[in-house]
Amino acid sequence: MPDFTVRGFKVYKAFLSQQAQAALLDQIREVARVAPPFSPQTPYGKPMSVKMTSAGQFGWFSDKSGYRYVEMHPQGAPWPAIPDAVMRIWQSVSGVDRQPDCCLINYYGEGARMGMHQDKDEADFQWPVVSVSLGDEGLFRIGNTTRGGKTESLWLHSGDVVVMGGAARLTYHGVDKIRFGSSSLLPKGGRINLTLRVVE
């Protein structure tokens, strides 16, 4: 059971132990070795402040042509498989039998943020999105199913897991800032956010 729910977002605090976080980080580093992180451009031609890569059948991508999923890393190789430890998190909290076919990996360095957005590039919104936080604390903002209106914010810590599904699946959300250096998990600081999605 989640520790609490905010606007339909199920929040599991400290879901991963420090040992589990370190083991998961090792698997994510292997993904990044095979599929190096990159800074995609928005359709407006500006580079995003986060660096990203992916694992699974699909990876998320953005350029002047728009937001979409692709089957190949920009360097031309298929995305690596989703690590077993990540799949176990999905199986524990998603509440569905369907397996994810994308794990988007975002790295937030000092000063990085993510504007308010909906996750709506997937084919079927009945499937939840599962988010895993590693490293520095991030201020997560939750809005509404339409732009504007009052929002709520909470600090996500390393090892926290959030499930966005049901009526909350298309709720606007974002990351306003991180507390750079607040975690010892990443020696050079920063926050890693994994989001598991069903694309097709």
CATH number of the domain where residue 111 is located:
2.60.120.590
The side-by-side arrangement of strands in the sheet containing 137-142 is 114-117, 173-179, 137-142, 152-156
**Which amino acid belongs to residue 23?**
A
Give the residue-averaged pLDDT of 5-27.
97
Residue 45 clears pLDDT 90, i.e. is over it:
no
Q: What is the mean pLDDT of residues 14-32?
A: 97
- Whether the pLDDT of residue 42 is over 90: the answer is no
pLDDT at 44: 81
- Residue 171: the pLDDT is 97
What burial class does residue 178 get, using C-beta atoms within 10 Å of its C-beta: 0-12 exposed, 13-18 middle, 19+ buried? buried
Sign of CA dihedral 199, 98, 4, 158: negative
pLDDT confidence of residue 193: 98
Span 46-68, pLDDT tens digits: 888 999 999 999 999 998 888 99
Segment 121-180, tens digit of pLDDT: 999 999 999 999 999 999 999 999 999 999 999 999 999 999 999 999 999 999 999 999
Range of the domain at 145: 4-197
Burial tier of 19 (Cβ tally within 10 Å: 0-12, 13-18, 19+): exposed
pLDDT tens, 87-129? 999 999 999 999 999 999 999 999 999 999 999 999 999 999 9
Instruction: Give me the pLDDT at residue 113, please.
Output: 94
Average pLDDT over residues 21-37: 97
**What is the model's pLDDT at position 107?**
97
Given this model, what pLDDT does residue 64 score?
87
Q: What is the pTM of this model?
A: 0.95
Partners of 140 in the beta sheet? Answer: 154, 175
Average pLDDT in the 38-45 region? 86
Q: Count structural domains, the chain.
A: 1
